[in-house]
Every structure is written in structure tokens, then in C-alpha cells.
Amino acid sequence: MSALLEVRNLRVEFNTRRGTLVAIDDVSFDIAPGEVLGVVGESGAGKSITGTAIIGLLERPGRVAGGEIRMEGKRIDNLPPEQMRKIRGRHIGAIFQDPLTSLNPLYTIGTQLIETIQTHIPMSGADARKRAIELLGEVGIPAPERRIDHYPHQFSGGMRQRVVIALALCANPKLIIADEPTTALDVSIQAQIITLLKRLCRDNGTAIMLVTHDMGVIAETADRVAVMYAGRVVEIGPVQEVIHNPQHPYTTGLMGSIPAVGQELERLPQIEGSMPRLNAIPAGCPFNPRCPRVFDRCKVERPNLLPADNSLAACWLHAPEMAAPGAPKDWSDGAVHA
């Protein structure tokens, strides 16, 4: 199966007065049609920047400094803004964390939906309105024909997020970038939104790149997971594997530090220290100062993604008997979809 989205060696830099900060460094992954790829990591790991780079919404001084992003085989990272605008919304939809700021408070949700539909699909006003009502019904808003003329403030947080999802779905995009779509919501509402996203993904064959820091949400929703640390993907693999059989020491630590209901532990396993700042990323493996299994090579040489069980992990522990530098071929499509 050919990939819907291919990201290859993506590098995002921020030029600041104090030098260039590398926010995303050599990130590669694929998303297959209809697949949900979860991207997890702590604040500052570069998850959201990866998402914004893909939809071409990086704000200055951020810029894509290297690598390629391909959508259905066509490069989209070097398109002029006008053309990118046509792709955004039509082919790639976006859902952001805070549903209140993604909606314009001065217009009814109907106006906003109809505008978005007509921008991407030539359609008469009446048809667009019909489609908007359909969409609202699809995302589970009761009495959509009445609610369509309401303003965002008349909706609760969960309902607003549903409206934002309806907006993202307007033009039937093949890929949705969902950046922390449930973080601002209560658990019971969060469960509703996850169920909704899963159903839509199944029914319409939409692929989702789900960016979140909540492992529980990933476990329930994603097919595959990419774990990010300090701007790099440190592990990528099928969701069950990454959660139950983590291969990178960082993933192991991250999974261990999540408290679970009913678990009786006096102390939670913790990773000492905190993530390095972008201007002070250590040489070699960025995780080496905090890693419980660090050895000499980690401090000098940066590991690429290496096959590790059914996943890929950027860790020298998985080097074929600590092979000579550069020997293992690190990236291949076959391994990613294993």
C-alpha cells in the first residue's frame, strides 16, 4: 500500500538572535490511507511543530530547513502559499486544541461551515447549507437544523469541538491533523470525541495524525505511534508494541511514569531530570544524560531509527552487535509498516 503522506528527513529551524534552534531534526514517517498515527511526547518535543509544518502553517521565524513532505506522491513543502491554501482544508484538514479559538465568535457556525464548504467545493448556497446540516448531524450535534444558526458561545466545549471537527471534514479531506483535540475537554466528553473521531475515520477512510501527550488517548485510537523527544522520533511502531513492549529507554520510562487506576505502587517509576532545551541538546543521543542504560557510544554518535522487534527505535542498544558507524540502513518502508 502506498503511503498517503510521506515525511522524509524533515528539519525545522527557528532563526533567533541567539542562533539557530533546530526544533525538528531529521524526522521521517509515513501515514497510510485510513490510518491513525499517534504522535506522543512531552511539551517541547516538537509534536505540534511537525503538524504545523505538514499543513504549511509554520510561523516565522520557523521554517522548513530540509527534508521533504509528500502528499500522495506530490511534494507539498515547497509550494507557494496560494497553492498550499488550496490543499489545506481540501486535502488536509486540521483540528486544534482549543475549540473556542478555532471558531470565529462573530459568525454563526452555519456561516463558517458554508464558507468553508464553498471555498473548496463549487456548490450553491442552499446545497452548502444542506451539506453543513448533514455534517453537524454526522458529528453528533442534536437538532442540527436549528443549531446551525447559533453562535459559538452558545455551544459547550465538547459541542464546539464537534463543530471544529465538522469544519475539518467539510471538503472530505484524506488526512486530518488533530493537534491535542481532547486536551481541553473533560474525560467524559473526551471519550465521546475519541469515539467520534474513530467512527469518522472508519466511515470515510480518513487518515488522522493525532498529536497528543495523553498515552491513554493514543492507546484507544491510534494504529501506530511515533514517540518524539527533543525534536526527533525516538521510536515508531504499532501501538500495542510501543505500549507493551517499548524498545527505547525513553519510551519505557514514559510508559512507566503514567499512573494507572487500580495499580498499587508506592512510588511511580520516574525519569530523572527534564527534556533538554533546544539550545542545549546534548551530542549523540539527546536522551543520553537521563538514560539509565547509557554507554559510551550514546554520548558521541547519534543513533538513527533501527529495527527493534516489531518497531523502530533510535537507540544504540539495537545496533546489530554494535555495528560499525553508518552500517545499518536505518529507514525502509517495509519496516515502518511491519
Partner 1 sequence: MPDTGLKQGTVLLEVKDLVKDFDVSRPWLNRVIEGTQRQILRAVDGVSFAINRGETLSLVGESGCGKSTVARLICGLYAPSAGSIVFGGKDLATIGQRSEMLTMRRRFQMIFQDPYASLNPRWRVDSIVAEPILSHDLMKKGEPLDKRVGELLSDVGLSPLDREKYPHEFSGGQRQRISIARALSSNPEFLVCDEPTSALDVSVQAQILNLMKDLQREHGLTYLFISHNLAVVSHISNRVGVMYLGRIVEIADTKTLFKRPLHPYTRMLQSAIPDITMSGKPRTPVAGEVPNPLDPPTGCTFNPRCPHAREKCRVERPPLLPFEGAEVACHGIHEGWVPIVPGIEPSQINA
Binding residues for partner 1 (CB under 8 A): 42-43, 156, 158-159, 186-192, 194, 213-217, 219-220, 240, 243-244, 253-254, 256-272, 274
Q: Nearest distance from residue 156's CB to partner 1, in Å?
A: 5
Please say which residue, 290 or 318, places its beta carbon nearer to partner 1.
290
Q: Nearest distance from residue 47's CB to partner 1, in Å?
A: 12
Q: Nearest distance from residue 291's CB to partner 1, in Å?
A: 13
Which of 45, 13, 121, 6 shows the shortest CA–CA distance to 276? 45
Please say which residue, 119 or 183, places its beta carbon nearer to partner 1.
183
Q: Nearest distance from residue 144's CB to partner 1, in Å?
A: 17
Please say which residue, 129 or 160, places its beta carbon nearer to partner 1.
160
Q: Nearest distance from residue 244's CB to partner 1, in Å?
A: 7
Please say which residue, 129 or 290, places its beta carbon nearer to partner 1.
290
Please say which residue, 260 or 324, places its beta carbon nearer to partner 1.
260
Please say which residue, 68 or 220, places its beta carbon nearer to partner 1.
220
Q: Nearest distance from residue 277's CB to partner 1, in Å?
A: 9
The CA distance from 12 to 60, in Å, is: 11
Please say which residue, 203 or 264, places its beta carbon nearer to partner 1.
264
Q: Nearest distance from residue 313's CB to partner 1, in Å?
A: 18
